[in-house]
């Protein structure tokens, strides 16, 4: 019998199974994908926001609760509308002098305020949590006086706070985190958790027409909010 007549005892048995090799690699690829996705989510949703924002303190602490207990007109005692309808914003030093020309109590923050600002006639450089980009126009009068919105709707129950929260500044834009909100995904539980364009648009969509005698004005045009 010639060599060609002998059955092949090696051949197919020794050849690798290509389909088996490919199938065996799938779990590893899937595992790498899951681990990579998990790490991406941890970095993107957990680590990155912490790096993106830097915490900065206010010049000194301030208790809204204590001050509201001492005034008669609530928030309007310090944050009021001028005769021309413009909003006063953060209180000026002149508004504080009636009570703080001398020390009130023995707290460290009171001492800082009186010694560093009142005695020197310096305005307090408050960091404004709700400071909007320069291209945005916002009218407090239209919302508070016109739409009868409560301050809490945008600012939260700040009147009950004993101290100011940390000011978180975006390292890239320089704006407060309050503009974006605590969740980088944009989720929110309360109306005051963030103040983005879609939050404003949602409200404007519900009340999109101002009825002023015979005049009807749409409030959803671009120029209403943007300069």
Written in H, E and C, the secondary structure of 42-94 is HHHHHHHHHHHEEEECCCCCCCHHHHHCCCCCHHHHCCCECCCCCECCCCCHH
- Asked whether residue 214 carries a pLDDT value surpassing 90, the answer given is no
Inside any domain, residue 47: no
Q: What is the pLDDT averaged over residues 94-111?
A: 90
Q: What share of the chain is helix, strand, coil (3-state, %, to 5)?
A: 45, 10, 45
Q: What is the pLDDT averaged over residues 87-98?
A: 91
| Residue linked to tokens 């002023």 | 212
Inside any domain, residue 193: yes
Query: What integer pLDDT is reported at residue 223 of this predicted model?
Result: 62
Structural domain tally of the chain?
1
Q: How far apart are CA 198 and CA 33, in angstroms?
A: 33
| Residue linked to tokens 């926001």 | 49
Query: What integer pLDDT is reported at residue 91 of this predicted model?
Result: 92
Domain that holds residue 159: 57-90+126-225
Q: How confident is the model at residue 211 (pLDDT cuts 50, 70, 90)?
A: very low
What's the chain's Rg over C-alpha atoms? 31
- Asked whether residue 215 carries a pLDDT value surpassing 70, the answer given is no
Inside any domain, residue 50: no
Q: What is the pLDDT averaged over residues 128-142?
A: 86
Query: What integer pLDDT is reported at residue 4 of this predicted model?
Result: 55
* pLDDT per position as a tens digit, 15-40: 555 555 556 567 778 888 888 888 87
In the chain, pLDDT over 70 holds for what percent of residues?
Answer: 79
Return all residues near 49 (Cβ < 8 A) that are at least 6 apart.
184
Q: How far apart are CA 131 and CA 155, in angstroms?
A: 12
Inside any domain, residue 65: yes
Q: What is the pLDDT averaged over residues 166-174?
A: 91
- Asked whether residue 7 carries a pLDDT value surpassing 60, the answer given is no
Contact 80, 88 (CB under 8 A): yes
Inside any domain, residue 29: no
Query: What integer pLDDT is reported at residue 36 of this predicted model?
Result: 82
């Amino acid at each position: 019998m010639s060599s060609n007549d002998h059955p092949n005892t090696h051949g197919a048995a020794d050849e690798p199974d290509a389909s088996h090799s490919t199938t065996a690699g799938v779990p590893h690829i899937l595992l790498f994908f899951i681990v990579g996705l998990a790490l991406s989510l941890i970095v993107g949703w957990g680590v990155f926001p912490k790096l993106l924002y830097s915490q900065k303190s206010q010049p000194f602490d301030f208790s809204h609760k204590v001050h509201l207990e001492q005034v008669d007109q609530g928030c309007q005692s310090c944050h009021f509308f001028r005769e021309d309808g413009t909003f006063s914003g953060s209180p000026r030093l002149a508004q504080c002098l009636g009570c703080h020309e001398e020390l009130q109590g023995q707290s460290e923050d009171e001492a800082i305020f009186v010694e560093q600002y009142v005695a020197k006639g310096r305005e307090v450089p408050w960091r404004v949590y709700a400071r909007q980009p320069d291209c945005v126009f916002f009218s407090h009068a239209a919302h508070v006086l016109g739409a009868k919105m409560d301050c809490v709707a945008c600012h939260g129950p700040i009147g009950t706070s004993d101290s100011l929260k940390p000011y978180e500044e975006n390292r890239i834009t320089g704006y407060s985190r309050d503009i974006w909100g605590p969740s980088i995904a944009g989720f929110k539980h309360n109306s005051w958790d963030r103040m983005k364009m879609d939050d404003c648009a949602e409200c404007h969509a519900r009340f999109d027409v101002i009825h002023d005698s015979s005049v009807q004005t749409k409030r959803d045009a671009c120029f209403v909010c943007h300069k």
